[in-house]
Amino acid sequence: MSKFIESLREDHEVILKALNVLNNVEAIDAIKKIVDFIKNFVDNCHHMKEKSAIPFPRIKGVS
């Protein structure tokens, strides 16, 4: 088997493993919690802290 075809076969195995994880209900719940964390904490809290810590108004988008 050529190296290219072998590489594609390995890619498909990795994709199938990822799909199997997504088919697990607990995994879906974990993913939803992580997305919720990113949306709420990172966007609302962490980025606000970063913006407030930047001392240069021009960098903050204020001319």
Is it the case that residue 63 has pLDDT exceeding 60? no
Q: How many CA atoms lie within 13 A of 28 on its CB side?
A: 6
Percent of the chain whose pLDDT exceeds 90:
5
Q: Which residue has the higher pLDDT, 51 or 7?
A: 7
Cα of first residue to Cα of last residue in the chain, in angstroms, is: 61
Would you state the torsion angle of the CA atoms of residues 52, 58, 62, 63, taken in this order, to the nearest 10 degrees? 160
Query: What is the band of 17 on the pLDDT scale with cuts at 50, 70, 90?
Result: confident
Q: Which residue has the higher pLDDT, 49 or 4?
A: 4
pLDDT at residue 4, rounded to an integer: 81
Q: Which residue has the higher pLDDT, 22 or 61?
A: 22
Q: Are 22 and 28 in contact (CB under 8 A)?
A: yes
